[in-house]
Structure 1
Amino acid sequence: MKSIIISFTIFVLMIFCIIFSVNYLNHICTRLQDSNLQVEKSIQLNSWDEAYKNSQNFTTEWKKYSPKLAIFSDHDEMEDISNEMRKLTQYINHRDSEESLSSTNVIQNSLKRIMEMQRLNIENLF
């Protein structure tokens, strides 16, 4: 009887930890997506100084949250976002709107994929 109670307690604890970690991951990705959208809006308005400032803010947030995201997600996705972030800064410096918008789109899609891969559903469990 004791082992059943201990096993059930561990199971319930694991479920709560999984739910907490998925919610935390979604919160981080949403913050990063919002920051990336600010960069995109600045580029669309041809406000290059503001776009550069917003890209620096995104870089700061990325450096803050990327170690935590690395626990949950594929490292290839993390590397893709880091590479696109570096490209984005250079495209903004050279005022290349097409490439800048393309990089913001790649970052946005990578963040969406991270959230989708960690979503609680049957497909991800098995």
Structure 2
Amino acid sequence: MRNALLSITLFILTMICVYFLNSSVLSLCDNIEMQAEDIELKITSGQMEEAYNGSLQLLNCINEKNILTSLYLSHQEFDNLLNESVRLSTYLVHNDETEAHTSLHLVKHNTEHIKKLQMSSLENIF
């Protein structure tokens, strides 16, 4: 009886942790998408300095959640997102609008891919 209660307790704690981490990752992805849209609007309007400041905020946002998300996500997925955000800020420093758009779309794509992996579906389970 004691083993059964311990197993049930551990299962419930695991499910609570998974729910918390999953919602944290999805919240981070939503935040990244909003910041990326804002940066894209600034790039298209020619405000490269404001876009650069936005890219630094995006990079800081990703770095702040580094410990929590790296425990839960695949390191490859998170590293791709981090590397592209660094490239984005580098391209914006050098006023390379075309490469900045490319890097920004890769950040968006990686974010969508992470969200797709975190959604509960039969494809993700099997």
1: CA distance, partners of 2:99 / 2:53? 18
Partner residue in 1 for 2:67:
67
Amino acid at match of 2:43: I
List aligned pairs for 1:78-97, cutoff 5 A: 78-97=78-97
Larger mean CA deviation between 7-16 and 47-56 belongs to 7-16
TM-score normalized with structure 1 length:
0.86
Matched, 1:17 2:26: no
2: CA distance, partners of 1:7 / 1:82? 37
TM-score normalized with structure 2 length:
0.86
Larger mean CA deviation between 75-84 and 52-61 belongs to 75-84
Larger mean CA deviation between 30-39 and 103-112 belongs to 30-39
1: CA distance, partners of 2:17 / 2:83? 31
- Does the 8 Å contact 1:48/1:95 carry over to 2? yes
Give the share of equivalent positions with the same residue, in percent. 23
Structure 1 gap segments, 5+ residues each: none
Cα deviation, 1:80-106, whole Å, max 9, x if unaligned, reads: 222222221222122222211111110
Partner residue in 2 for 1:37:
37
Structure 2 gap segments, 5+ residues each: none
Larger mean CA deviation between 49-58 and 81-90 belongs to 81-90
